Structure 1
Amino acid sequence: MPDRATRDAYRRFVAIPTRWMDNDIYGHLNNVVHYSLFDTAVNRTLIEAGLLDIDGGAIIGLVVESGCRYHASLAFPDVVQAGLRVGKLGRSSVRYEIGLFRGDEPLAAAEGHFVHVHVDRGSRRPVELPADWRAFFEGLV
C-alpha cells in the first residue's frame, strides 16, 4: 500500500462533520461519501475566499477527473479534517489534492484528487483563470 500523507502535506484544512446516513451497512463511510467530502472542502474554500459565486458568478468549475485511495475507515460521528492543496495549476484548470483525516490523527484515512476546468457559466467553454483566482491557487501549491 502506498505511503499515507501526513497533515503537513496540506496547505489548508476544512472541518466537516459526518452524518448518520453517511455510514453504510459495514459500519463505515460509504466510498462515495469521500467524493462528497472532497467537493465540500474545495467549494467551501472557494466560497470563503470570495472566488466562487454559486448563484451568479461568471466562472464555474466542472469536474473532469477524480480519484481516491482509501487507507483507513472513517465513520459517523467522526469529524473529518479535509486537508487541501493544489497539485497542478493550468491555464484554466486546477488539480486539487485532498487528504481526509479523522479528527486530529496524523495520517490520512483517504487521499484523493479532482480536477476542475473553469468555464464560462453560459457557454461552458474554458476560460483563463483570473489573476485573483490564480494568486489564491498559487498559495495552495
Structure 2
Amino acid sequence: MYAYWETVPTRWKDNDVYGHVNNAVHYSLMDTVINTWLIRVAGLDIHGGDAIGLCVESHCVYKASVAFPEAIRVGLRIGRLGRSSVRYELGLFREDGETVVAEGHFVHVFVDRETRRPAEIPGPLREAMEKLVPTAG
C-alpha cells in the first residue's frame, strides 16, 4: 500500500491540553516525511535546484488519538503524478503499523525557483516519484 516508511517520535510539546497529539502536528509529520524523502531519496536540491515544490493543498482525516511518548509510523505513496504536480498520500499509524491514526494528502506544484511559474518535475525526481506510485493488482 505505502512504498516508503519512516518512524517519527512524538515530542513532549506535541501533546495539547487534552492529553493527545494536537492536530497541527499531524500536518507537520506529513510535511516532514515528504520532504525527508524528497531530499534524502529523490535527490531534491532545496538550496540550488531550478525547480521547487510548493504545497497548494493539504488534507487530513483523523482516525485515532495518539500521545507522547508514542512514535508514529508514516507511510508515503504517490496517488497522482502529473507534469508539474504530485499528490502525496500518507498514512499515520501507531508503532504497531496496524492502527491507523490519520490519513492525509499533500499536493505540490513544482515551479521555477526564480519565476514561480509551473515547471516540469525534473527527470531524476520524476523517476524516484514513479517508484512510489502503487501498481495495479
TM-score range, shorter chain: over 0.9
Correspondence 1:73 to 2:65: yes
| TM-score (normalizing by structure 1) | 0.90
Q: Give the 3-state SS of the residue equivalent to 2:61 in structure 1.
A: strand
Q: Which residue number corresponds to residue 129 of structure 1? A: 121
Give the alignment partner of residue 105 of structure 2, picking from 109, 113, 129.
113
**Residues of 2 paired with 1:42 and 1:133: CA distance?**
13
Residue deviations 1:82-107 (CA, integer Å, cap 9, x gap) = 10000000000000000011112313
Identity %: 59
Q: Which residue number corresponds to residue 90 of structure 1? A: 82
**Residues of 1 paired with 2:132 and 2:42: CA distance?**
15
Unaligned runs of 5+ in 2: none
Unaligned runs of 5+ in 1: 1-8
Q: Which residue number corresponds to residue 49 of structure 2? A: 57
Q: Give 4+ residue runs of structure 1 displaced > 6 Å after superposition.
A: none
How do residues 30-41 of structure 1 correspond to structure 2 at under 5 angstroms?
Answer: 30-41=22-33
Q: Which residue number corresponds to residue 15 of structure 2? A: 23
Q: Give the 3-state SS of the residue equivalent to 1:109 in structure 2.
A: strand
Q: Which residue number corresponds to residue 104 of structure 1? A: 96
Bigger Cα displacement from structure 2, 93-102 vs 46-55 = 46-55
What is the CA RMSD across the aligned residues, in angstroms?
Answer: 1.1
| TM-score (normalizing by structure 2) | 0.92
- Give the counterpart letter for 2:24 in structure 1: V
